[in-house]
Structure 1
């Protein structure tokens, strides 16, 4: 493996970090003779020459808990950066980061990120999502190319959460929200317990949430029913249609992680129970009575038995992660299992035939409101799904080339899925589907040139990435995939990338075999007749779906702006081509109806009465787009000099977050010398006693005790906290590891510790962490953060070929696959400030205009979807930082209040036809029933 030289401060930082992690992450054995190290408190031998002063050789280029990748992260956040988002959990933090952690390579709106904890895979995001953000020491976001190094697909970004070594909290969070117009409200209560003791973690979380009903009548929705035929006194059907369902849910999660032995191996277990109940009003049963000749006598609505959909889902999940260091390989095994039990009861329509017979027998009067129908009963659907995913990955660097280590990742796994369903409405009977999938593959990352290794360094840093995999599906046969990628780091601040992905994707079990179900009374816009009708919609799977072939190209460039501190620009180009594409039946345009005539049923007048919406296959789809990103951030107050004061970010570390580098700059030489004297010039037993006294004084809020020389102990409070074990006393193993590393080198050179010379400031991240351990960033006036992120997407092409011989659909020019056209332009922007415990964040989304062409016939029309902007605001205040307030109300210690306003300007997309009228299906409150709304949050940590 390669070696590199650094100043002693950087070496100390890396060594101290290594003391808290497994040997698999960093090793300190060099193939060349290493400098002498101190034993039992003795100083090392003096260096042999001036050139060797402040020099140490370290084996392994990456820092502990970090991600082994040739390219630098595209985003780094330290603890103060994370605080600027005001999130209550890691799940909320990821939601706030939005486009910076979600991939644009993915099909269908961007893929969610791969989650690592301290550089290690986890079985499921459930293991981490409820952690409070205060438990995070640093967060790194890497590009999609890094995902393959951990056994994931190349269309997901990687988010690595590096947790604090010692952390404990109990937290309760209360939330209440509702629209400004009222109509319904939402409530949430969440309680979380977390304890981190080095590699051991325990997390318990319980959450309850509830939402009340919002009906169409409360928003004045005009109904699609033929109201002229209703009897006098019949109720308004809008009172029996839900815009927002009545729902409630509860979730309980337990996560536990422990170290196995002294080798750094670890085991994680997690379990979750979730239950969700919902009740949706589906309208009133419309009943039409006719005479013997079929003429309509009257139309009325069955208010005694409204149509409802009552659903309950219970979810049981279990996961486990085993991380082992086997020789030079890091082996991770994950096991994740889920069982979902669902039941849905849907109200049935009244038997009209029986009703007519009752009317003829005089049991029901037909000259007045019919409100005495017998209970029509309900249809019942049962759905049980079983999922088991097991995957093992082995990562290592088995070959060393002149440009660096060759990184190899081997993966193998087995996935098992089973679906059991029954539905009294099913047109095909009960369903039982099973799929087993055996997976295998390898990823190889080959460094071609390297500036750090001085091998063709004038070219920059070139890395070739190769990935190949084979899947065998028990119900579908063998599928293959392969990827080729090239990353070119021209300079520390300019990186280019190119990737080609080719893979075969099988339809899901649900797409293949879900039962065919007919659901009545569904509003459908019929563009051919320019009307919204209540039709019967058939949903379900299609057993004849083929595998989809995907061929994707992507090219990207990321540039850290030299003229703006902590600023970067990224440009990405995506070209996706697919054949045999699985999709739900698209919007019922003339082309779609002509291509799938058996999916549409009309009556004698041409009115749409039934739509078969089951999955179909398109011949091909092509998409091309450009995405531009701008990321700016900075510090408010404090010492703005890089690396100084309260810890300015290191060079090359800022890539689009609220601030680029860690809090607390590297310690200066004097402080390093004082700490080294404290650790190395006293007997270990004396030191442990002094540190225990210091911990007790710190816990009691007292001044630190004096040493034998009458001077205060020269060790920062944060380092004391890291040395403490679960019992609040000094942990012997941690103390020994820290003492050995502090005493094994000379005092730090603070200028070098700022990260000079390493690509992207990678070494500085370790120095910053050591600076925080030294207590950097705890003195001086309050500081804050500001940030601004902008993402603009330009769709260049989005076309679909339904079948050979038919014209292509242009989704950017009048055609559609869903309820509306696809916009060519989209913008997402986020900006915020955080200062002295107060924060304000604004989120803005712009959606461009689009169009859906009609048939051109007399009754048809075009639809125009206007562009619009939504703006969300979030403000919060850490009451616990207001000393006078906490003194008056001690309960407020550790508390925070927040206020969020979504859709500040109450904006909705406006949809009009060729006559300038709004079709009933696109009424503004059907598009967005919530509108401008607020949420109040109270959070307290104990």
Structure 2
């Protein structure tokens, strides 16, 4: 027996037989049959195997399998983080994009490469994050965060983590959100209004949203910024302060509209799934860069940007293989008008960029080894870029640059040993992966890449990984050929003189840049703990070596000036006049770091009485839901009553609908309970016609219905406390010395207690008695075993969601686990903490030197490199009220001066910031809504966010302890503490 999905374990005959009797005898037969109509299974799923196969034989081993949710990523690499719907609710996020921002410590990669994570929806690639970034978090069923190596399965390089969002199969909502914020020190304000609509009905998803935001400007005068040069006489004579004419935060206004449609194709979705997405946006930004000494007017820069995006994705099964293709096309038009100094009119810069990115993958198993099935991903793609621009400040006139790139690659994962398959299982689970690709660029020729890695799980709790990546990367079109622009009066700190001056700065592209070669190593270890609700520890080591790297022009230290003397212009007295900041090529960059951290999840408060809980791991009853769960739109509810209780009228309506549908046609599945709909889907996540037909047979059979006959074509019965009590009595629970009354047991159980010779097996009887008698009978009206609800968390031992309430490993679950899951109705808390330690960071500017040590006084950017960085994220949520806090710490660093008279070292102090978020679901607050209908307050939430709670700013000083004018707090961080309130209503 080899399951195709899920975590599974081969257990000893005793433990597996015990579990088998519990699930088969107790749940399926004696107590609830198939639970209720809401939890009905098609007969193809619920039919039992023949008796000779169903009963364990002496010496047999039984494989116990916990099914994955449809849409989970099928990989042997365990996730870094998993969140279920209630974990997501505890974050108080307003959208998926907001949730991703809060998960920054967990979803961020320490690789030093890559950008945003790879995003998936229901285990499938999407064309762009904008497809689902505006989805409300209530639409999420589960979130998986997977290591960088998993990106290879989807045709991406292993330099970014993978986030898979598993959506609710049925969901509908409309939401409106209004936000207002401003710094605690005042000066400007920001407002935002968002509105959206989302409908999910199986494979069909429709989403549309509109977002409008605006921000007022903030000037240097409002932050008390001291000007770096004396005020010109004409300006001073007019009584004007130049600080009033220089903005730290520009005025900005944005509007964005987005729409997405996902639709299954063909009958029952057999033709695959197609997604179309479109977005348009317009942004207008206005900033001030000083005062004109002649006209005495502000020097203004106004930039208007119009963007148009179109994306599509197509996914379908081709036999046992999965084919995916995505297209993401964008066009952006930017029009900037800049006032000339000296009253000379206005300069104009026009830019138009185009991108089109087509990517296709084919994934499947090409062969099977003793350790399991190999996994192969083939990827091919084409990318086209074009930049066309002009700038009246440039002597080059109109400018255009174009690039096309063709890509082909493959990634193969091979299982070497396997505990699941019983092949060399003493070693654990070991797999290796190999991959490579070729890129053909129209302007850079052929570039290659390859990677290799291994994943080893010596125990269920411990995962070890290693990977090696080698690839060539071309500079971007902008880095190569952006038009040359000359700006005057730009503040620059001159390390040679220790002063801040206004200099002429040149920016643009550098066509002499070369292709970069990257060689990266990663080693990691992850361990799961039985601590609180769940916990895990992650330790990672990264080493990056690169040659011919493209760098932005570094901080103008003496070492950089010596390496690029042609980029700096000085007056005869040494005063800095001009700097050419176009990109440069460094000979070599090396860095290494360790990143480690942990994630903890726990419960708050005591669990409610068993009678108030929902089914095991499933939806809570009405009291539990009111205590914890956020409001759910009415469209999510199935035909059950409160707490999932069976509603005969709604069941009759659903049954009539199925029975009235002609054979061979798909009935209307609107309103079908989520769990039932999931069971109607095949392995590809699409509705399976055979399962629909089987369910119809069960619905329409004579006598079908709650309490009707069991077996083929029979109906569904709810848990009967009286039957369970009778079962305990027959087994003589609590009566020492009394033998079980076999004649009083249900016939189905008696049959399963028999051995090969047809007689009652004493061992099986003892195991069943121990199992049943260990469980306290639920109160009348309580929901019992099999009463529905989907599993919460990961069912594998030690995984997220395991280790608590479900009993000890390999043992019997507690009564609480059997009758309502663990911790239903309780609050939740979590804490994540990650610490990065830079071990080495050097740059070789050119062969033979100079060599820069960025951890010991040299610098490339605005400041040195911090050796230590810490990220913190955590919160608590209970009774509809949540509080979350995030923090960041960067250790101090130093940038050395030249040592010449007038020069000074700069010391960048440590920086610690905290952000706070508090929110309350108003409909759950009895002091506001009372005991009745919440009315207007239904689905509403009020939130308060405070960024940089303690209003901290990095302090930069020279050798004398003085803060250079270039590093005034108002210039480093003009915003400081920022307070924002939000009001959100979900319809």
Shorter-chain TM range is 0.7 to 0.9
Question: What does residue 669 of structure 1 align with?
Answer: none
Tell me which moved more, 628-637 or 752-761: 752-761
In the TM superposition, what whole-angstrom CA distance separates every residue of 1:423-451 from its partner, at most 9, and x where no partner exists? 01114332111100000000100011111
What is residue 793 of structure 1 aligned with on the other side?
836
Aligned equivalent of 1:282: 289
2:458 to 478, 490, 511: 490
Other-structure match for 1:3: 3
1:671 maps to which residue?
Answer: none
Indicate whether 1:233 and 2:278 are aligned.
no
> For residue 361 of structure 1, what is the aligned residue in structure 2?
none
- How far the C-alpha of 1:889 sits from its partner, in A, is 6.5
- The aligned residue for residue 74 of structure 1 is 80
Match of 1:199 in 2: 203
Cα 1:382–1:908 change in 2 (3 A) is same
What residue in structure 1 maps to residue 864 of structure 2?
A: 821
CA–CA separation in structure 2 for the residues paired with 1:551 and 1:794 = 20
Q: Which has the higher contact order (CA 8 A, sep 6+)?
A: 2
> Match for 2:975 among 925, 930, 937?
930
1:397-796 equivalence runs, <5 A: 397-563=365-531, 565-639=533-607, 685=655, 719=675, 736=693, 758=796, 761=799, 782-796=825-839
Cα separation, 2, equivalents of 1:470 and 1:243: 45
Structural mapping, 1:146-225, within 5 Å:
146-225=150-229
The separation in 2 between residues aligned to 1:901 and 1:606, in whole angstroms, is 46
Whole-Å separation in 1 of the counterparts to 2:445 and 2:861: 31
* 2-structure distance, mates of 1:223, 1:321: 53
1:227 Cα shift? Answer: 3.3
Aligned partners of 1:687, 1:638: CA distance in 2, in Å? 43
Q: Which residue of 2 aligns with 1:104?
A: 110
Q: Does residue 1:119 correspond to 2:126, yes or no?
A: no
- Change beyond 3 A, Cα 1:205–1:683: closer
Where does residue 876 of structure 2 map in the other structure?
833
Distance change >3 Å, CA 866–CA 737, structure 1 → 2: farther
Question: Hey, what does 1:912 align to over in structure 2?
Answer: 957
Q: Is the 8 A contact 2:596 2:834 kept in 1?
A: yes
Q: Is 1:867 the counterpart of 2:910 in the alignment? A: yes
Task: Work out whether 1:809 is the aligned partner of 2:801.
Answer: no
Match of 2:262 among 246, 257, 260: 257
1:64 CA displacement: 2.3
Question: What SS does the corresponding residue of 1:304 show, helix, strand or coil?
Answer: coil
3-state DSSP class of the match of 1:791?
strand
Give the match's secondary structure for 1:518. Answer: strand
Counterpart in the other structure of 1:354: none
Distance in 1, Cα, partners of 2:880 & 2:46? 45
Separation (CA, whole Å) in 2 of partners of 1:394 and 1:509 = 30
May I ask how many residue pairs the two structures share in their alignment? Answer: 828
Contact 2:177 / 2:195 at 8 angstroms: preserved in 1?
A: yes
**Cα distance, 1:562 vs structure 2:** 3.7
2:297 pairs with one of 284, 296, 305: 305
* 8 Å contact from structure 2 (residues 615, 787) kept in 1: no
Q: Which residue, 884, 888, 906 being the options, matches 1:845?
A: 888
C-alpha separation in 2, matches of 1:737 and 1:539? 68
Distance, in Å, in 1 between the alignment partners of 2:249 and 2:124 is: 40
Q: Distance in 2 between matches of 1:232 and 1:756?
A: 73
Q: Secondary structure at the match of 1:48?
A: helix
**C-alpha deviations, 1:265-309, integer Å up to 9, x for none?**
110000000111000101123xxxxxxxxxxxxxxx245332111
How much has 1:572 moved relative to structure 2?
Answer: 0.6
Query: Does structure 2 conserve the Cα–Cα contact (< 8 Å) formed by 1:106 and 1:156?
Result: no
Residue 867 of structure 1: how far off its partner (Å): 0.5
Task: Give how far 1:804 is off.
Answer: 1.4
Kindly tell me: are residues 741 and 271 of structure 1, through their superposed partners in 2, closer, same or farther at Cα, counting changes over 3 Å? farther
Q: Distance in 1 between matches of 2:826 and 2:547?
A: 54
CA distance in 2, matches of 1:888, 1:425: 65
Q: TM-score, normalised by structure 1?
A: 0.81
Structure 2 alignment gaps of length 5 or more = 10-18, 29-33, 619-628, 632-643, 662-669, 682-686, 700-710, 714-747, 750-784, 807-816
Could you tell me how far apart the structure 1 residues matched to 2:42 and 2:525 are?
A: 44
Can you list the C-alpha shifts for 1:450-502, whole angstroms capped at 9, x where unaligned?
11111111111111011101000001000000110111111111111111010
Partner of 1:341: 333
1:269: which partner in 2?
A: 276
Shift of 1:229: 5.2
Query: 1:63 offset after TM fit, Å?
Result: 4.8
Distance 1:737 1:920, change over 3 A: farther
In structure 2, relative to structure 1, the CA distance for the partners of 1:346 and 1:893 (3 Å cut) is: same
Contact 2:85-2:141 within 8 A present in 1 as well = yes
Question: Secondary structure of the equivalent of 1:218?
Answer: helix
What's the offset of the Cα at 1:753? 7.8
Q: Give the Cα–Cα distance (whole angstroms) in 1 for the partners of residues 295 and 446 of structure 2.
A: 54
Cα–Cα, structure 1 residues 338 and 859, in superposed 2: closer, same or farther, change >3 Å?
same
Q: Which of 363, 371, 376 is the matching residue for 2:344?
A: 376
- 8 Å contact kept, 1:646–1:780: no
Q: TM-score, normalised by structure 2?
A: 0.77
Deviation at 1:808, TM superposition (A): 1.2
**Residues 351 and 389 in structure 2, CA contact (< 8 A), matched pair in contact too:** yes
Partners of 1:646 and 1:850 lie apart in 2 by: 54
Which residue is 1:891 aligned to? 936
Q: Say if 2:613 and 2:825, in contact at 8 Å, map to a contact too.
A: no
Q: How far apart are residue 868 of structure 1 and its match? A: 2.1
Asked if the contact 1:638/1:781 (under 8 Å) is kept, the reply is no
Q: Distance in 2 between matches of 1:724 and 1:895?
A: 33
Alpha-carbon separation, structure 2, partners of 1:249 and 1:400: 54
- Counterpart position of 2:779: none
Query: Secondary structure of the residue that 1:459 maps to in structure 2?
Result: coil
Partner of 2:733: none
CA shift, 1:717, in A, is 6.9
- 1:243 paired to 2:248: yes
Distance 1:57 1:456, change over 3 A: closer
Can you list the C-alpha shifts for 1:842-883, whole angstroms capped at 9, x where unaligned?
111111100010011111111001102111110000012235
- Of stretches 602-611 and 812-821 in structure 1, the one that deviates more from structure 2 is 602-611
Q: What is the root-mean-square deviation of aligned Cα atoms in Å?
A: 4.2
Q: Distance in 1 between matches of 2:593 and 2:794?
A: 37
Q: Deviations over 1:393-416 (max 9, x none)?
A: 001012111111100000101000
Q: Pick closer, same or farther for the CA change 1:623–1:242 going to 2, 3 Å.
A: same
Once residues 775 and 164 of structure 1 are traced to their aligned partners in structure 2, the CA distance between those partners, rounded to angstroms, is 25
Check 1:937–1:146 CA distance in 2 against 1; reply closer, same or farther (3 A cut). Answer: same
Between the aligned partners of 2:585 and 2:547, the Cα distance in structure 1 is 9
Structure 1 gap ranges (5+): 21-35, 286-300, 351-374, 651-660, 664-673, 692-698, 700-714, 769-773
**In the alignment, is the contact (CA less than 8 A) between 1:10 and 1:763 conserved in 2?**
no
CA distance in 1: counterparts of 2:79 and 2:348, whole angstroms: 50
CA distance in 1, matches of 2:334, 2:414: 48
Shift of residue 888, structure 1, vs aligned partner = 8.2
How far the C-alpha of 1:686 sits from its partner, in A, is 5.9
719 and 38 in structure 1: CA distance in 2 versus 1, 3 angstrom threshold: closer
Task: Decide whether aligned partners of structure 1 residues 338 and 840 sit closer, same or farther in structure 2, where only a CA change above 3 A counts.
Answer: same
| Compared CA separation, residues 467 and 720, structure 1 to 2 (3 A) | closer
Q: Does 1:328 align with 2:296?
A: no
Distance 1:62 1:83 in 2: 21
Partner of 1:360: none
| Greater strand fraction, Structure 1 or Structure 2 | 1
